Amino acid sequence: MKIKKVLLLTLLIPGYALSLDDSKEKKSNFSISLGYVQTTGNTETSTINVKSSYIYKTDSKRIYFDLNALYGETSGEKTSENITSNLRVEKRFLPYFVFWDVHYYRNPFQAYKYSIGSGPGIGKYFFHTDRLYLTGSYYVYYVYNELNQPSYFTNKEREKYFLHHIEERFRVKLLKNLKFKEKLIYKVSSRKSEDYFVYFESSLINNLTKNLALEISYTANYQNIPIGSKIKRLDTTFSTLVQYSF
């Protein structure tokens, strides 16, 4: 557990340091969230959730880094573990944009010791105002998995394949201090035509002060063909978090 805390702090500190750049030409934002989460599916537990997000902006370029981590133990036995991070470098040719992602995922309860994916993508802004935001994008990763059991597809604990994504992101400002965010991703792998994933995320964020906000979020992660026969197809999380922005 101590090792995991050190790793988490190591990931968060660089983002915090970058957020201290107050240059007028380089706009950046860093936020960290801490809260309570309930999970269902391959884990049935209540635990603490930590999230962080960093955004660096210029006129035509963006760098995004997101980290989401949760870990739970009961009587010394691990009851949940999930680490997801994503780095995106984006170039805008409005209303279009191109980008490159590096994605990391760990969830031993879904048989993933770790999964690393990376690749290019292209998208379009359909709405991009202060009140309303809507984008659609397509991207493809080359994925490498290390598993804790033989894969249903290869009967091995290591596998490589391509993963195609179709993504939609939506945000609307409901009131001056209240906004709703939603993300939907449909993924299809090259392992088998029936091998697809659906990821859904929604959140309601209430800004209490300039830097402090309360967030309520729900995520659902569905895999049509799990790695193993005993792994459930659907995992959900419900979170209540306090968010602080620097």
Collapsing DSSP to helix, strand or coil, 31 comes out as strand
What share of the chain in percent tops pLDDT 90?
Answer: 83
**Which pLDDT belongs to residue 4?**
46
**Which pLDDT belongs to residue 104?**
98
Collapsing DSSP to helix, strand or coil, 203 comes out as strand
**Which pLDDT belongs to residue 164?**
98
pLDDT tens sequence for the chain (246 residues): 443 443 444 444 444 444 444 445 448 999 999 999 999 999 999 999 999 999 999 999 999 999 999 998 888 788 999 999 999 999 999 999 999 999 999 999 999 999 999 999 999 999 999 999 999 999 999 999 999 999 999 999 999 999 999 999 999 999 999 999 999 999 999 998 899 999 999 999 999 999 999 999 999 999 999 999 899 999 999 999 999 998
Q: What domain count does the chain have?
A: 1
Range of the domain at 215: 2-245
**Which pLDDT belongs to residue 22?**
45
Burial (CB count within 10 angstroms: exposed 0-12, middle 13-18, buried 19+), residue 75: exposed
**Which pLDDT belongs to residue 76?**
79
Q: Is the pTM of this model over 0.85?
A: yes
**Which pLDDT belongs to residue 24?**
52
Check the CA dihedral 135-141-48-38 and report its sign. positive
CATH of the domain at 216: 2.40.160.40
Buried b / exposed e along 45-63 (16+ C-beta atoms within 10 A): bebebbbbbbbbeeeeeeb
**Which pLDDT belongs to residue 74?**
83
The Cα–Cα gap between 99 and 137 comes to: 10
**Contact in structure between 90 and 121 (CB atoms under 8 Å):** no
Mean pLDDT of the chain: 90
**Which pLDDT belongs to residue 219?**
97
Pairing of strands 196-207, 77-93: unpaired
Contacts for 244 with CB less than 8 Å, ≥ 6 apart: 31, 32, 33, 211, 212, 213
Structure tokens at 68: 């989401």
